[in-house]
Amino acid sequence: MKILLIGSGGREHALAWKLARSPKVQKVFVAPGNGGTANQKNAGIENLPITDL
């Protein structure tokens, strides 16, 4: 499963991190994301520019 979270705050970072830990989730995309989610590429979290949606 691939998940898209929209937002750039700490709440979205926490949700993305927790969702990425699930074995059912392949990838979590966060738009526009933040510095915390940008550093989580190894955890299956990737930032997307909001203009790419």
Residue 37 confidence (pLDDT) above 90? no
Give the pLDDT of residue 28. Answer: 96
Give the pLDDT of residue 36. Answer: 87
pTM exceeds 0.95: no
Binning pLDDT at 50, 70 and 90, where does residue 41 land?
A: confident
Phi and psi torsions of 31, nearest 5°: -125, 125
Binning pLDDT at 50, 70 and 90, where does residue 40 land?
A: confident
Integer Cα distance of 26 and 34 in angstroms: 20
E-assigned strand segments in 1-53: 2-7, 27-32, 45-47
Q: Does domain 2-52 have CATH number 3.40.190.10?
A: no
Residue 25 confidence (pLDDT) above 80? yes
